[in-house]
Amino acid sequence: MTVRSPFCRPATTLVEILVFLAVFAVVTGLVLPLLYSATENRLLQQTASLVEHNGMEALQALSYRAQAGERILAPPPGTVGAIVTLQTGSGVSNPTIIGVLSGSLVVIRRATKQILTSPQVAVENFRVRNTSASPSQQSFTVSFNVSRTLRLQSSHVYERPFEALFSLSPDDAQKGDCDCPAPSCTGNRFIWSICENGQCSSASTQLDCQD
């Protein structure tokens, strides 16, 4: 007579393994989409925050530069351009040029270039309208889009438009100016001059004209 030990149990059958695998597949199929959806929502919220932050920071930087400006050198009154050039009273920042280069908003003070926006976002459709009513009442509007692309199962692009009006406080003394030629586009290159020791010389910093 064979005595079965109370500690022994039958081996797992093939049916039990198949049932376990089926249950695991069903649970995984239900849980993974929830986890993916939660991750996607979190990334979208982070992207929206990043885009909003960069757009507001750009507007604040533009406001600061406008307050330091004496005159709008480009674009001419009543016209629209992709680059704004300001005459300032300080030799280290005259002229101040703001535009888009390789998807980033940049400011050039005299000949020194500074990037204002994060490389994680793209700035597009930067447009400046000179809305000056008179030489003593100078102003301009700026509009642009900030976007970021998320590479998930399918590409998601979060884009936000920004727009603002900026007013200058012109100084009739025209400090820092030595009658240099007005900035202009030659081909696809934006050309401007800097005043040094009473003489005008072409800036070595390069900036492409944006259509």
Q: Is residue 49 part of a domain?
A: yes
Residue 204 pLDDT exceeds 90: no
What's the whole-number mean pLDDT along residues 23-48?
72
Residue 189 resides in a domain: no
CA atoms of 144 and 163, how far apart (whole Å): 7
Record the pTM.
0.75
51 falls within a domain: yes
- Residue 103's nearest CA partner among 86, 77, 125 is 125
**Average model confidence (pLDDT) across the chain:** 82
Tallying the residues shown for the chain, one arrives at: 211
> Which of residues 6 and 118 earns the better pLDDT score?
118
Sorting pLDDT into bands at 50, 70 and 90, what band is 155?
Answer: confident
Question: What residues make up the domain containing 70?
Answer: 14-171
Distance CA 141, CA 165 (A): 4
Structural domain contains residue 60: yes
Does residue 63 sit within a domain? yes
pLDDT digits over 106-147, tens only? Answer: 999 888 889 999 999 999 999 999 999 988 889 999 999 999
CA 113/CA 108 separation, integer angstroms: 4
Domain count, the chain: 1
Give the list of residues 6+ apart from residue 40 with CB closer than 8 angstroms, or none.
152, 156
Residue 105 lies in a domain: yes
| Distance, first Cα to last Cα, the chain | 97
Confirm whether 53 is domain-assigned: yes
Look at residue 43 and tell me if it is in a domain. yes
